[in-house]
Amino acid sequence: MTQPTLHPHERPPMTFPAIGATYVLVHDGLWMYYLPETLKPAYGAKGDITAHADGQLMTKLLQPGWWGSAHQAEQITIHVPQRDRVIGYRLDDPATESERFPATLTTEKYDELREQNDIWFQMYSPLYQSVTAQALSLTGPWTVLENAAPAPVGDPRPWHASLPTILTQRPEYAHLFPGALSGFRDHLRKLIEAMPYVRHVFTRDEFEVVLEVPLELPEHQWVPSPYPARRRRGEGHNRQVTITRRLHLPIPDRVPGVTRADAERVWDEQTAHWTAVVTSASAKACNTCRGTGHVVDGSTEYDAKKA
């Protein structure tokens, strides 16, 4: 691509970065192309970049760098706004025009005078000429990745993908390849710590949950009868105690998946499973099992007495 001639007061135009292998996502009839986020208007330029797929205007998607088209493109053209060109300088107050202070100055003359005295900066303002947006073209073919949307924006769960070598520098496609979401143990720790009866959650070596569950134990006390001729009578009441339960759960820190979407589904399923385990363990202890979860039947109780 031929670069335009630069005026001394202009910055070099933005060049299209090499992006290597090119992929396109297709989801719900929308063709989504990734254009590098480094493509931005030149400093001081007015307007935003636009992209056209075979001459048809593309839609800028919410995910940074992604653009949508209603059809599969053969060529994408990006128009990058450029800063207006300074073509000279004009005297701010026409009444002060004189042989020394002419109505206009060329850029070369202004630079020469400006080096001698700052008064020229105070008396003159630049004259601008609009510059046509720089057109950059990208031609396919693109490798099509079906039924996939761009990765979610702002998700705190890091995705560690096993990318093909050719895509190691293309993180925008990482969510489409096998990998794992990390931070699952910390995610569960925060959820479980807020659950009823949970006293502690330890995750340094293994995932351990300590629960303190209330239990009311029935007790009877014999008290003297107010009537001497009668036998003593019994009074019953419940004594409040706390049962400590410990859970050692095999919870990993990473949740694998064929794609990020697959791992997110497993993440949600595992979250529901492990919180249900803790909920079951935090059920209030009953008097029948005395908080042990095991009811002693007649034969077991008889054997225990013989021992």
Domain boundaries, the chain: 1-83+130-150, 85-129, 151-307
Give the pairing of strands 30-34 and 66-69: antiparallel
Give CA–CA dist 177/263, Å, rounded. 11
Residue, of 172 and 294, whose pLDDT is higher: 172
pLDDT in tens, 84-121: 888 889 888 888 888 888 888 888 888 888 888 888 88
pLDDT of 269: 93
Give CA–CA dist 91/286, Å, rounded. 93
Residue, of 293 and 238, whose pLDDT is higher: 238
- Tokens (6 digits) for 130: 């609009």
Residue, of 79 and 289, whose pLDDT is higher: 79
- The percentage of the chain sitting over the pLDDT mark of 90, rounded to a whole number, equals 17
- The percentage of the chain sitting over the pLDDT mark of 70, rounded to a whole number, equals 71
Confidence of residue 189 (pLDDT cuts 50, 70, 90): very high
Residue 244 has pLDDT above 80, yes or no: yes
Residue 301 has pLDDT above 50, yes or no: no
Confidence of residue 174 (pLDDT cuts 50, 70, 90): confident
> Which residue carries 């996939």 as its tokens?
148
Confidence of residue 273 (pLDDT cuts 50, 70, 90): very high
Give CA–CA dist 157/235, Å, rounded. 58
For the chain, the average pLDDT equals 75
Q: Which range, of 44-48, 179-183, 189-193, 293-297, averages the lowest pLDDT?
A: 293-297
227-231, 273-277, 284-288: range with highest mean pLDDT:
273-277
Q: Which range, of 13-22, 35-44, 230-239, 262-271, averages the lowest pLDDT?
A: 13-22
Among the listed residues 27, 302, 291, 255, the one whose alpha carbon sits nearest the alpha carbon of residue 144: 27
Quickly count: other Cβ atoms within 10 Å of residue 91's Cβ: 18
Confidence of residue 82 (pLDDT cuts 50, 70, 90): confident
Quickly count: other Cβ atoms within 10 Å of residue 288's Cβ: 10
Give CA–CA dist 35/198, Å, rounded. 49
Mapping DSSP onto H, E and C, the string for the chain reads CCCCCCCCCCCCCCCCCCCCCCEEEEECCEEEEECCCCCCCCCCCCCCCEEEECCEECEECCCCCEEEECCCCCEEEEEECCCCEEEEEEECCHHHCCCCCCCEECHHHHHHHHCCCCHHHHHEEEEEECCCCEEEEEECCCEEEECCCCCCCCCCCCEEECCCHHHCCCHHHHHHCCEEEECHHHHHHHHHHCCCCEEEEECCCCEEEEEEEEEEEEEEEEECCCCCCCCCEEEEEEEEEEEEEEEEECCCCEEEECCHHHHHHHHHHHHHHHHHHHHHHCCCCCCCCCCCCCCCCHHHHHHHHHC
Residue, of 28 and 51, whose pLDDT is higher: 51
Q: Per DSSP, what are the bridge partners of residue 78?
A: 51, 136
pLDDT in tens, 55-69: 899 988 877 778 889
Give CA–CA dist 170/181, Å, rounded. 18
Half-sphere exposure of 61 (CA within 13 A, CB side): 22
pLDDT in tens, 118-150: 888 888 998 888 888 878 888 877 778 765 666
Confidence of residue 231 (pLDDT cuts 50, 70, 90): low
pTM for the predicted model, two decimal places: 0.48
Give CA–CA dist 272/38, Å, rounded. 40
Q: What is the mean pLDDT of residues 36-59?
A: 79
pLDDT of 178: 78
Give CA–CA dist 85/130, Å, rounded. 6
Kindly compute the dihedral angle of the four CA atoms of residues 272, 183, 149, 265, in this order, to the nearest 10 degrees: -20
Cis omega before residue 141 (within 30°)?
A: yes
39-43, 50-54, 216-220, 281-285: range with highest mean pLDDT:
50-54
